[in-house]
Chain A
Amino acid sequence: MTTSTEPAQRGRLQRIDWEKVGLSLAAPVLAVVISVVISSIVLAVSGRDPFQAFNIMGTYGSASDAQVATLNKATTYFISGIAVAFGFRMNLFNIGTEGQYRLGALFAAYVGGAVNLPSFLEIPLVLLTAMLVGGLWASIAGVLKVKRGVSEVIATIMLNAIATSVVGLLLIPGRFAPTVSGTSNSIQTKDMAASSDFFTITTQGGELYGFVIVAVVLGIAFQLVLNRTRFGFDLRATGRSEAAAQASGVNVKRMVLTSMVVSGALAGLIGMPDLLTTTHHFGQTFQLNLGFIGIAVALLGRNTPVGIAIASLLYAFLDVTAVQLPLKGDFPQEIVQVMQGTIVICVVVAYELVRRYGLKRQQQKVGAQLAAQAAAAAKKEVAA
């Protein structure tokens, strides 16, 4: 019986897969469409022409410098998404990537400014510092969850607030920022040694972050670790069913701690593309909210590297082109935030619907196939 069904299984496998691809694409595409419709309505109601707005975004977005800007931004978003997704894959909601990357970037910038080593030592040192600080900060929430059962969501949100204060406390002249005299109103850490400059790829549209490659490597490593290692299996099992994972022998507590630290360490890298390529110091204008964007991007990308990459590009495209809206027409750039928000809400709802539909659909299919198999067996029997 089994031998005869084997080839059939292969064929079926393909079919199921295509349907799966279709199903998983349906949700985000639907979400994007809905968000476009909603933001169009918002624009139209406020008396502006939505098509012109999208035209501005599209025209600018197709220019080469905007594309490079989009890719650079997407690189950062991707790393942020990966950091969040690592926890999400085991149902661990690390909302604290925001605080983790800020602290990580601050310490990394400080270390980078304090030491001057050759590039091949300086850059790893800076990156390691960022990861270490991010991981340590995240481990506080991990320990609280494991030892005291504190929800990691609450703990990390609180730690975000604390991280902001810690940054404020450290980023003052005489501590992490050099004492400056004169008229400057901004404070920042000392500029990092030139040896910490990360390479860039020169294109017609400007400098492309070398970190794009780091992001790609991270994405592949993420996929490999999750799907091809014992650790990854334990992590995914815990995410799918903590009870089943525990019964299967996964040390859930250790898993929680480990994932929290890894997620935090990855979060530490979020600020690195900007820090090592453009700003070279951590200051008052260091970009915020990247951690939260990571959460949105991970949700949208369904916690898979490919999905996160696409979601990051989409988010980056929206953010990059939004800047043009008030300049090229009378459009509030906030409309992009409306779009991003609706995309996330729609996609969360749509994914759940699609998931349920997919499960049910598969159950029915399996039932049908078994019935067909049985019928075939019966026929064979009659023939025999």
Chain B
Amino acid sequence: MTPRPSPQRNEAPAEHQEIAITASTPSPSKGGDPGAGTAAAAVELRGITKRFPGVVANHDINLTVRPGTVHALMGENGAGKSTLMKILYGMQRPDEGTIAINGEQVEFSSPGDAIARGIGMVHQHFMLADNLTVLENVVLGGEKLHGIGGRARAKIMEISDQYGLNVRPDALVEDLGVAERQRVEILKVLYRGARILILDEPTAVLVPQEVDALFGNLRELKAEGVTVIFISHKLHEVLSVADAISVIRRGTTVGDADPQQVTARQLAEMMVGSELPSPESRESTVTSTEMLRVEALRIAKPDAEGIERVVLDDISLTIRKGEVLGIAGVEGNGQAELVEAIMGMLPLTAGTVTLDGTDLTGALTRSRREAGIGYIPEDRHRHGLLLEAPLWENRILGHVTEEPNSKGFRLDPAAARKDTLRIVQEYDVRTPGIEVTAASLSGGNQQKLIVGREMSHRPKLLIAAHPTRGVDVGAQAQIWEQIRTAQREGLAVLLISADLDELIGLSDAIRVIYRGRLVADADPATVTAEDLGTAMTGAASGHLESDETALAEAAAIADEQFGRSDAPGGGATGTDEPSDAPADTAADDAQAGE
């Protein structure tokens, strides 16, 4: 561990915005829009500060959003984006600072006030009633606006056509896909007269094709004069859709950027405050020793109506020592069941699971863990942690039968505590102590604790399901690096991820899962995210190979985004002590910036 940034590093501790295109004074100058200087800003936040007891969530935030633009608000998880948007949407009141909408200073005491001012918010988690139709969902709570009958329907169709939302008013929401539901949410907000739209991480739940469609909608909205505030931490998405970008770090605005001029890498550095590591694969560590073999796995279980449904069918795969096998797929296509089947949490209808030559088909979860399977679950709150238990008890979870947690049948809390301290230190878990509950840590630190715990038992196979989901960039890099380090030591990894860049960057081989079957495979070196996305929707199968130009294009974006070209063969990040140092310093700097 190199805990401090080395003095010879060329930038100053990335304190503020040397790398920002425009310094922290919000600049109205934005290419191609001459009227910008004169028209009142759609949203103008000045000196917004919000303190929670003991914590400053927002500190002196300044944000100017011009009307009729898509304005991206970027920042790591926990940077304070959500708090800021809650303030703008009237869910919380700022302790200091002013809000001006269309040049008029306002004070919101509830979301109702914000809605009255034409502000609407689409939450990350949709708030729709499944058993009602689209029409009913839209009208629900807004009955006074256009009634509940023909007038409402006409209005909905009008909005839908106007913005190209393409919704079917009589469809049941439970029959809709994620993207369509999102459009209903947007429509719901527009129906209530919103002219300023806040979208909280709208792309997190979408596949690439759907993201493109959403961006199309956003452009339509913009064309009609609607202002969109777009919250995201996905760099290339922001660059492709936004007209202006503001970056928040550690609760304060660190700068604005012009998407025409800034690179993904520069943006990322603004967010984290230092250089970024990359997820690129280096020289292959794949060996010929087979570690995990899954053969002809099949799981059928009755659904709510009692009809037998096949959730996994004829799944066969092998992972060798030092290999990362990535599974791509739209959520709900059997990934979760595959993981649970290998972990022994779901009974198999047919098939075998063999780890390092040992047949584990009938083994219980505990013996599988003891046999050397490490598990980073998809939903860490549900499956990975005891949220209300202290950290050291969480360190025991899943390894209660193993050293140092127990001696025989007796628990050894002293040794577990000591080892937790070690994990906290080695894996850089930001916590004031090991007696605090897991719930009080941020998502990234929770995940680092889980990774540290699983890695501490020297697993032979690591099942990593969305290991960096909801994790900030700094922690993300650390987790990637830890997986790679272990891979070099011969760890086999089953990686399940919705982040196709992560999959392509980390995996040695990729399989695509669709409706419970492995329908396609690909070499991450010769496939683009777009082609993977196509296979994920079931439109392609077999061996995927993207054409040269698309690949080159993707590589260029990736280069820009992750600086892969800076590190041919891992040069810049180093090969021996790879990215521990940058990761660490990145995080440290981020904190120093507070």
A and B touch in the complex (CB under 8 A): yes
Of A76-84, A283-291, A308-316, A369-377, the segment with at least 4 beta carbons within 8 Å of chain B is A369-377
Q: Report B-chain residues with C-beta under 8 Å of the C-beta of A234.
A: 400
**Contact A375–B594 (Cβ < 8 Å):** yes
**Contact A248–B406 (Cβ < 8 Å):** no
- In Å, the complex CA distance between A241 and B387 comes to 8
Q: Report B-chain residues with C-beta under 8 Å of the C-beta of A231.
A: 409
Indicate if A228 sits at the interface (CB-CB under 8 A).
Answer: yes
- In Å, the complex CA distance between A80 and B23 comes to 68
Indicate if B556 sits at the interface (CB-CB under 8 A).
Answer: no
Cβ-neighbour of A377 out of B364, B389, B411, B591 (below 8 A): B591
Query: A180: shortest Cβ distance to chain B, in Å?
Result: 50
Q: Report B-chain residues with C-beta under 8 Å of the C-beta of A6.
A: 421
**Contact A366–B436 (Cβ < 8 Å):** yes
**Contact A249–B369 (Cβ < 8 Å):** yes
**Contact B53–A370 (Cβ < 8 Å):** no
- In Å, the complex CA distance between A381 and B367 comes to 48
**B11-35: which residues lie under 8 A (CB-CB) from chain A?**
13
**Contact A364–B53 (Cβ < 8 Å):** yes
Indicate if A161 sits at the interface (CB-CB under 8 A).
Answer: no
- In Å, the complex CA distance between A361 and B431 comes to 15
**Contact A371–B594 (Cβ < 8 Å):** yes
**Contact A247–B386 (Cβ < 8 Å):** no
**Contact A362–B383 (Cβ < 8 Å):** no
Indicate if A227 sits at the interface (CB-CB under 8 A).
Answer: yes
Query: B348: shortest Cβ distance to chain A, in Å?
Result: 16
**B380-399: which residues lie under 8 A (CB-CB) from chain A?**
382-389, 393, 396-399
Indicate if B377 sits at the interface (CB-CB under 8 A).
Answer: yes
**Contact A247–B588 (Cβ < 8 Å):** no
User: What size tier do the contact residues of chain A reach?
Assistant: 35 or more
Interface string of B326-350 (1 = CB under 8 A from A): 0000000000000000010100000
Cβ-neighbour of A247 out of B388, B398, B399, B413 (below 8 A): B398
**Contact A233–B364 (Cβ < 8 Å):** no
Query: B417: shortest Cβ distance to chain A, in Å?
Result: 11
Interface string of B52-74 (1 = CB under 8 A from A): 11111000000000000000000
CB-based nearest A residue for B7: A384
Q: Report A-chain residues with C-beta under 8 Å of the C-beta of B435.
A: 9, 13, 16
Number of A-B contacts (CB under 8 A): 152
Cβ-neighbour of A248 out of B400, B411, B433, B441 (below 8 A): B400
**Contact B440–A363 (Cβ < 8 Å):** yes
Q: Report B-chain residues with C-beta under 8 Å of the C-beta of A147.
A: none
- In Å, the complex CA distance between A231 and B413 comes to 14
Indicate if A58 sits at the interface (CB-CB under 8 A).
Answer: no
Q: Report A-chain residues with C-beta under 8 Å of the C-beta of B432.
A: 5, 8-9, 12, 365-366, 369-370, 373
Indicate if A154 sits at the interface (CB-CB under 8 A).
Answer: no
Indicate if B287 sits at the interface (CB-CB under 8 A).
Answer: no
Query: A112: shortest Cβ distance to chain B, in Å?
Result: 33
**Contact B410–A251 (Cβ < 8 Å):** no
**Contact A362–B382 (Cβ < 8 Å):** no
Q: Report B-chain residues with C-beta under 8 Å of the C-beta of A232.
A: 411
**Given A247-B383, A362-B437, A378-B592, is A240 in contact with B398 using a C-beta cutoff of 8 Å?**
no
- In Å, the complex CA distance between A374 and B399 comes to 32
Query: A352: shortest Cβ distance to chain B, in Å?
Result: 13
Q: Report B-chain residues with C-beta under 8 Å of the C-beta of A240.
A: 386-389
Q: Report B-chain residues with C-beta under 8 Å of the C-beta of A244.
A: 382-386, 397
Indicate if B425 sits at the interface (CB-CB under 8 A).
Answer: yes
**Contact B3–A246 (Cβ < 8 Å):** no
Indicate if B4 sits at the interface (CB-CB under 8 A).
Answer: yes
- In Å, the complex CA distance between A248 and B425 comes to 23
**Contact B54–A377 (Cβ < 8 Å):** no
Q: Report A-chain residues with C-beta under 8 Å of the C-beta of B410.
A: 228-230
**Contact B433–A247 (Cβ < 8 Å):** no
**Contact A381–B436 (Cβ < 8 Å):** no
**Given A16-B436, A237-B397, A359-B439, is A229 in contact with B366 using a C-beta cutoff of 8 Å?**
no
**Contact A246–B365 (Cβ < 8 Å):** yes
**Contact A248–B398 (Cβ < 8 Å):** yes
Q: Report A-chain residues with C-beta under 8 Å of the C-beta of B4.
A: 381, 384
Indicate if B424 sits at the interface (CB-CB under 8 A).
Answer: yes
Q: Report B-chain residues with C-beta under 8 Å of the C-beta of A12.
A: 432-433
Interface string of B462-485 (1 = CB under 8 A from A): 000000000000000000000000
- In Å, the complex CA distance between A247 and B382 comes to 9
**Contact A251–B366 (Cβ < 8 Å):** yes
**B415-430: which residues lie under 8 A (CB-CB) from chain A?**
421, 424-425, 430
Indicate if B230 sits at the interface (CB-CB under 8 A).
Answer: no
Cβ-neighbour of B364 out of A16, A249, A368 (below 8 A): A249
Q: Report A-chain residues with C-beta under 8 Å of the C-beta of B387.
A: 240-241
**Given A13-B435, A243-B383, is A230 in contact with B409 using a C-beta cutoff of 8 Å?**
yes
- In Å, the complex CA distance between A241 and B377 comes to 14
Q: Report A-chain residues with C-beta under 8 Å of the C-beta of B393.
A: 233, 237
**Given A2-B424, A229-B411, is A370 in contact with B430 using a C-beta cutoff of 8 Å?**
yes
Indicate if A250 sits at the interface (CB-CB under 8 A).
Answer: yes
- In Å, the complex CA distance between A384 and B13 comes to 13
Q: Report A-chain residues with C-beta under 8 Å of the C-beta of B217.
A: none
Q: Report A-chain residues with C-beta under 8 Å of the C-beta of B191.
A: none
Indicate if B318 sits at the interface (CB-CB under 8 A).
Answer: no
Query: B438: shortest Cβ distance to chain A, in Å?
Result: 10
Q: Report A-chain residues with C-beta under 8 Å of the C-beta of B430.
A: 370
Central interface residue in A2, A240, A244, by most chain B CB within 10 Å: A244
- In Å, the complex CA distance between A355 and B437 comes to 12
- In Å, the complex CA distance between A237 and B13 comes to 43
List 6 A-B residue pairs with CB atoms under 8 Å apart, sorted by A's residue number: A9-B435, A244-B385, A246-B383, A364-B52, A366-B440, A375-B594
Kindly list 5 other residue pairs between chains A and B, CB separation below 8 angstroms, not including A248-B398, A365-B440.
A228-B413, A245-B397, A359-B437, A362-B439, A364-B52
What are the 3 tightest A-B residue pairs by CB atom distance, in nearest-first order?
A368-B54, A249-B366, A374-B591
